[in-house]
A = this chain, B = another copy of it.
Amino acid sequence: MLNKVVKNADEAIKDISDGATLMLGGFGLCGIPENCIQALVKKNIRELTCISNNAGVDDFGIGLLLQKHQVKKMIASYVGENAEFERQLLSGEMEVELIPQGTLATRCMATGYGMPAIYTPAGVGTEVAEGKEIREFNGKKYLLEHAFNSDFAIVKAWKGDSHGNLIYRATSRNFNPLMAMAGKITIAEVEELVPAGELDPDMIHTPGIYVNRIFKGENYEKRIEQITITKR
């Protein structure tokens, strides 16, 4: 019977091997697949190409993979909060490809929607356009940007069911539903896992057809990069 539930992160990532291309959901440290990242660190899978909006901070998120030199190439839109990242980049140990955030998101969607490429105006006239096809529609210039090819997508959702249906919470949604559609294999970790039939079918953000494996994550730290508060 249809049951995509696996025991834990170790089982979920068991067939990810050195040199794999991974998509990792999240924006900053918000909505990142903490359990899977830790499992990737533990298993010491190397030479990874990681597609993720950001690269974590030094001691959390993708930063944990960077610390152990597991990342060969980082594809991201902003990598600002990570000193080790900067060191590896400047020393040439790691490659980085910077992509406008909307282009990154839309290229993920294109993959999940079976569209080989999209046109976006972002980056026209900039370094990003170098070597890319430019095409004018209705008097405005657009770049042709291609869908991604990713072995695995690893996402974090709030709730999920045994069929792989996912619901995200607040801004932790970000890239997660887009990447969930874009992996050859999609792994979802969730805070709450319920049997199929318990989620409202109108309120599912990622239909289970896109998800291959799901497990209930543990010990979420959910670190906050910038706590800003209103004083009473």
Q: B-contacting residues of A (Cβ < 8 Å)?
A: 106, 113-121, 137-138, 140, 142, 146, 167-170, 173, 201-203
Which residues of B have CB within 8 Å of A173? 202
Residue of B nearest to A113 (CB): B106
Copies in the complex: 2
B119 touches A140 (CB 8 A): no
Complex A-B: 22 CB contacts under 8 Å = A106-B113, A106-B115, A114-B121, A115-B118, A115-B119, A115-B120, A116-B119, A116-B137, A116-B138, A116-B140, A117-B119, A117-B137, A118-B118, A137-B146, A167-B202, A168-B202, A169-B202, A170-B201, A170-B202, A173-B202, A202-B203, A203-B203
Min CB–CB distance A39 → chain B (angstroms): 28
Which residues of B have CB within 8 Å of A119? 115-117
Residue of B nearest to A167 (CB): B202
A-B interface, 5 closest residue pairs, ranked by CB to CB distance from nearest: A116-B137, A203-B203, A116-B119, A115-B118, A115-B119
A106, A116, A146 — most chain B CB neighbours (10 Å): A116
Which residues of B have CB within 8 Å of A167? 202
* 16 more CB-based (< 8 A) A-B contacts, given A106-B113, A115-B119: A106-B115, A114-B121, A115-B118, A115-B120, A116-B119, A116-B137, A116-B138, A116-B140, A116-B142, A117-B119, A118-B118, A137-B146, A167-B202, A168-B202, A169-B202, A170-B201
Bound together, the chains give a CA A167 to CA B121 distance in angstroms of 30
Residue of B nearest to A136 (CB): B116
Which residues of B have CB within 8 Å of A115? 106, 118-120
Min CB–CB distance A194 → chain B (angstroms): 16
Residue of B nearest to A137 (CB): B116
Min CB–CB distance A199 → chain B (angstroms): 11
Min CB–CB distance A224 → chain B (angstroms): 19
